């Protein structure tokens, strides 16, 4: 039995470190203890993922990581970020004494740390880089397959890689495959075949093999660290306790669909779209009334262009960031909202739902909802994040017919919370040991039997 256990241990799947060690006193002293330990761990790994909740300091951690990689290799490092996050990151770097070059193409790349938007990737030459950072790396899920593949292939040979996000897998484990493939740990297909099985007849749904669950999480812990708060990894939560999030459901009356006397709950996608359009005016008026009741900042999320257009007309001074706007206008408006120049910002989660820090705003409204829990979660966390000092009031404005959409989001929220708790439960102990350097697992081969060579094999020596 001992021999069999030794055999299984030797077969354990881990991602070996390919990085380098740095002394603790070389890590920026402005970082919190848990941040410094995570940076050291990620540098030692060389290719790693940081799954840390919104406001836990992913930006300073990735900047410190990039700084050390650039110094160690004497080559530039590139950060890919969502739109408007580049300037925000550069300002954050200045707070920590780390220089960041914002660039739009390879011509603008300088020694040290460089940052650009995901959309500009094709303007860069990955071969000159020693390191790449994906800021808000779960954004890969929002891209089409060809773009996701292009990002993974572009940095296939980059020596050092870091992926940072708050929600790697809000509803299932599959999103972890994107990160593992980007980091070069294992392809998504290999991960599925090794740890998962098809769930029934639906080949798009996978579940962990019962006997593989423990080994799966050990494998994930070999390249990723996850935390919702510092105490998940054994640190103090001082300064990282979120204020309350108060959810308010506002249901407006909608028009009855053709053939019905009263509004009915929409079920199909076509019925849901029809219900949204039928209640558009009532939802817009309800939201405008809330936003105009005070002089505080408001962040309003839409799902339809018509919702944003109507709100912009009704609310004085409101600015809408739409998909048709230029990247320059989008970036300027989002930064102006962060600076308090704009009081009411209207946009979509697909445009501004990732990366922005809007802790100055305590009021959020959803005038339209999609079925994406990740979009809903990320949109709320632009304001409800560590650093927010006031309770956040989140208003969800729907019609009577949109109950199925709200119920679907709530179901996904429960699933996401359950999964996040499960991930932390499985990963926290191992992660904490790795970060504090108390566990270094190595696999050495020890022969249990003497080697016997076949008669036809002869060793010739001279």
Q: Which domains does the chain carry? A: 2-239 (3.40.50.300), 245-413 (3.40.50.300)
Q: What is the pLDDT of residue 253?
A: 78
Contact predicate 15/460, CB 8 Å? no
Q: Angle 163-164-170 (CA atoms, 0-180°, nearest 5)?
A: 110
Helix 403-435 and helix 33-45, axial crossing angle in degrees, nearest 10 = 80
Confidence of residue 169 (pLDDT cuts 50, 70, 90): low
348-378 pLDDT, tens per residue?
998 998 889 999 999 999 998 887 887 888 8
As a whole number of angstroms, the distance between CA 431 and CA 439 comes to 10
Taking residues 92-102, report their average pLDDT.
95
Q: What token pair was written down for 289?
A: 């009334």
103-113 pLDDT, tens per residue?
999 999 999 99
Contact predicate 158/126, CB 8 Å? yes
Q: What is the pLDDT of residue 445?
A: 45
Count Cβ atoms below 10 Å from residue 458 Cβ, excluding itself.
Answer: 7
Q: What is the pLDDT of residue 309?
A: 97
Confidence of residue 83 (pLDDT cuts 50, 70, 90): confident
Q: Is the pLDDT of residue 444 over 50?
A: no
As a whole number of angstroms, the distance between CA 258 and CA 265 comes to 13
Confidence of residue 270 (pLDDT cuts 50, 70, 90): low
Helix 145-154 and helix 175-183, axial crossing angle in degrees, nearest 10 = 30
Q: Is the pLDDT of residue 178 over 70?
A: yes
Count Cβ atoms below 10 Å from residue 32 Cβ, excluding itself.
Answer: 18
Q: Angle 24-21-442 (CA atoms, 0-180°, nearest 5)?
A: 120
Confidence of residue 201 (pLDDT cuts 50, 70, 90): low
Q: What token pair was written down for 103?
A: 């660039």
Give how far Cα 189 sits from Cα of 52, 140, 175, 196, 381, Å.
25, 17, 12, 10, 31
Q: Is the pLDDT of residue 455 over 60?
A: no
Cβ-defined contacts of 330-336 (< 8 Å, 24+): 330/83, 330/84, 331/83, 331/84, 331/87, 334/83, 334/84, 335/84, 335/87, 335/88
């Amino acid at each position: 039995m001992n021999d069999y256990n030794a055999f299984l241990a030797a077969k354990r799947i881990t991602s070996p470190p390919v990085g380098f060690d740095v002394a603790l006193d070389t890590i920026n002293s402005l970082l919190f203890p848990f941040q410094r330990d995570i940076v050291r761990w990620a540098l030692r790994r060389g290719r790693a993922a940081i799954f840390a909740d919104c406001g836990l300091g992913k930006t300073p951690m990735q900047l410190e990581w990039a700084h050390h990689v650039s110094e160690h290799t004497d080559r530039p490092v590139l950060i890919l970020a969502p739109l408007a996050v580049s300037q925000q990151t550069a300002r954050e770097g200045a707070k920590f004494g780390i220089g960041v070059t914002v660039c739009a193409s390879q011509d603008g790349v300088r020694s040290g740390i460089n940052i650009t938007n995901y959309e500009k990737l094709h303007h860069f030459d990955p071969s000159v880089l020693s390191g790449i950072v994906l800021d808000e790396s779960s954004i890969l899920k929002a891209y089409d397959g060809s773009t996701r593949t292009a990002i993974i292939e572009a940095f296939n040979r980059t020596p050092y890689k870091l992926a940072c996000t708050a929600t790697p897998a809000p509803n299932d484990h599959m999103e972890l495959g994107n990160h593992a493939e980007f980091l070069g740990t294992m392809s998504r297909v290999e991960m599925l075949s090794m740890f998962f099985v098809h769930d029934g007849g639906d080949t798009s749904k996978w579940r962990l093999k019962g006997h593989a669950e423990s080994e799966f999480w050990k494998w994930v812990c070999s390249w990723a660290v996850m935390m919702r708060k510092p105490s998940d990894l054994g640190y103090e939560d001082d300064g990282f306790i979120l204020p309350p999030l108060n959810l308010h459901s506002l249901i407006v009356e909608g028009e009855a669909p053709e053939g019905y006397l009263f509004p009915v709950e929409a079920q199909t996608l076509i019925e849901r779209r029809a219900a949204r359009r039928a209640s558009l005016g009532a939802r817009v008026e309800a939201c405008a009334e809330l936003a105009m009741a005070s002089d505080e900042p408001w962040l309003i999320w839409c799902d339809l262009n018509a919702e944003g257009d109507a709100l912009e007309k009704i609310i004085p001074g409101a600015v809408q960031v739409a998909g048709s706007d230029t990247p320059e206008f989008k970036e300027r408006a989002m930064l102006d909202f962060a600076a308090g120049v704009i009081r009411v910002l209207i946009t979509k989660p697909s445009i501004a739902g990732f990366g922005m820090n809007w802790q100055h705003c305590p009021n959020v409204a959803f005038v339209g909802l999609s079925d994406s829990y990740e979009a809903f979660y990320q949109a709320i966390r632009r304001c409800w994040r560590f650093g927010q000092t006031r309770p956040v009031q989140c208003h969800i404005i729907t019609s009577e017919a949109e109950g199925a959409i709200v119920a679907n989001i709530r179901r996904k929220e429960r699933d996401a919370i359950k999964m996040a708790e499960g991930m932390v439960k499985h990963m926290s102990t191992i992660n904490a040991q790795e970060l504090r350097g108390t566990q270094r697992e190595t696999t050495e081969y020890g022969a249990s039997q003497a080697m016997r060579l076949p008669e036809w094999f002869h060793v010739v020596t001279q």
